């Protein structure tokens, strides 16, 4: 049968163009043929009979020798070393199952925590419905997601609230060099932990939490990214009550590593490498300190 596509003349000149340039970002849909002459099918694409097609809805991001499509929607797809926020959905004798917004629940084994736990005592430390900051450690081909709570900035979340966004918006929430998140923290005095899975934990006064929630809504819905930080900043300035006196003390970590129920109040660790996909959205340095 014949192909259903005209050649895509709109998208010439992608090969070799710098992937950082925002100017040539092209929305592609599943089944759309991609300009992939001499390139290999990367993530978000497939190849049939020498032609490369998009398999997901997203932005075409040639990355020679690969053609790839960065998805604009969908569930969180875990990557090793991602720091994510999860909620306990099940407690077993030696592990918890966490909902991190991924296709599958992620088991957190008791050895992956800073606590010294006897088998069967897991529910004294974390119960269903409680939330934690964990790091993705390993993925296996069956989709099993191994996470750990051992590491700087990881631990149980006490109080506060969790706001869910599309994982694709997280680079915007952090901003270039952490500029966006710094602005929000400074203008609201709230404590914030950002998970790469699109979940943002916010602690602090109810007013601060509400203002952060609104700021996140602006970011989530803001179509253009030019001036997004200014828009958020002006919203936060407009709603300032005067309580938050400029930059606060940097969030401190006061986790009691040996006791059940440590208090967690720090942003995610800063050691995460910039992921190519995110770099494409906007260069991100999650170093918030």
Closest approach, Cβ 158 to other proteins, in A, equals: 27
Closest approach, Cβ 57 to other proteins, in A, equals: 5
Closest approach, Cβ 252 to other proteins, in A, equals: 28
Burial 54-92 (b: 16+ CB within 10 A, else e): bbbbbbbbbeeebbbbbbeeeebebeeebbbbbbbeebe
The reply on whether position 234 binds other proteins by CB under 8 A is: no
What letter does residue 225 receive in the DSSP assignment?
A: -
The reply on whether position 26 binds other proteins by CB under 8 A is: yes
201-204 own/partner pairs: CB under 8 Å, 24+ apart:
201/85, 201/131, 201/133, 201/157, 201/160, 201/161, 201/162, 201/163, 202/160, 202/161, 202/162, 202/163, 203/157, 203/158, 203/159, 203/160, 203/161, 203/265, 204/160
The residue from 179, 205, 239, 248 that contacts other proteins (CB under 8 A) is 179
Site string for other proteins, 180-219 (x = CB under 8 A): ----------------------------------------
Query: Looking at the DSSP assignment, which residues form a beta bridge with residue 145?
Result: 139
The residue from 7, 12, 17, 31 that contacts other proteins (CB under 8 A) is 31
Strands 45-48, 51-54: pairing kind: antiparallel
The residue from 47, 75, 81, 213 that contacts other proteins (CB under 8 A) is 75
The reply on whether position 229 binds other proteins by CB under 8 A is: yes
The reply on whether position 96 binds other proteins by CB under 8 A is: no
Binding-site ranges for other proteins (CB under 8 A): 1-5, 21-27, 29-31, 44, 46, 48, 53, 55-59, 71-75, 103-105, 141-143, 175-176, 179, 223-230, 282
């Amino acid at each position: 049968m014949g192909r259903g596509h005209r050649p895509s003349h709109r998208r010439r000149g992608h090969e070799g163009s710098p992937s950082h340039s925002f100017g040539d970002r092209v929305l592609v849909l599943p089944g759309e043929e991609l300009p992939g002459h001499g390139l290999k099918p990367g993530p978000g694409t497939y190849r049939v009979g020498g032609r490369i097609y998009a398999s997901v809805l997203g932005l075409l991001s040639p990355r020679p020798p690969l053609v790839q499509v960065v998805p604009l929607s969908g569930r969180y797809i875990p990557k090793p070393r991602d720091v994510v926020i999860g909620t306990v959905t099940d407690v077993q004798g030696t592990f918890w199952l966490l909902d991190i917004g991924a296709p599958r629940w992620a088991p957190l084994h008791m050895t992956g925590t800073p606590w010294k736990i006897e088998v069967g005592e897991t529910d004294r430390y974390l119960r269903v419905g409680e939330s934690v900051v964990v790091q993705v450690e390993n993925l296996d081909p069956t989709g099993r997601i191994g996470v750990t709570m051992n590491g700087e900035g990881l631990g149980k979340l006490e109080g506060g609230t969790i706001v869910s966004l599309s994982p694709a918006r997280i680079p915007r929430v952090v901003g270039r060099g952490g500029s966006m998140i710094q602005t929000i923290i400074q203008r609201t005095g709230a404590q914030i932990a950002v998970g790469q899975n699109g979940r943002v934990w916010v602690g602090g006064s109810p007013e601060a939490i509400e203002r952060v929630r609104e700021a996140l809504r602006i970011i989530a819905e803001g179509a253009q990214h030019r001036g997004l930080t200014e828009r958020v900043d002006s919203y936060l300035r407009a709603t300032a009550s005067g309580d938050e006196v400029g930059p606060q003390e940097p969030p401190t970590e006061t986790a009691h590593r040996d006791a059940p129920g440590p208090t967690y109040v720090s942003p995610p660790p800063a050691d995460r490498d910039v992921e190519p996909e995110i770099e494409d959205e906007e260069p991100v340095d999650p170093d918030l300190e």
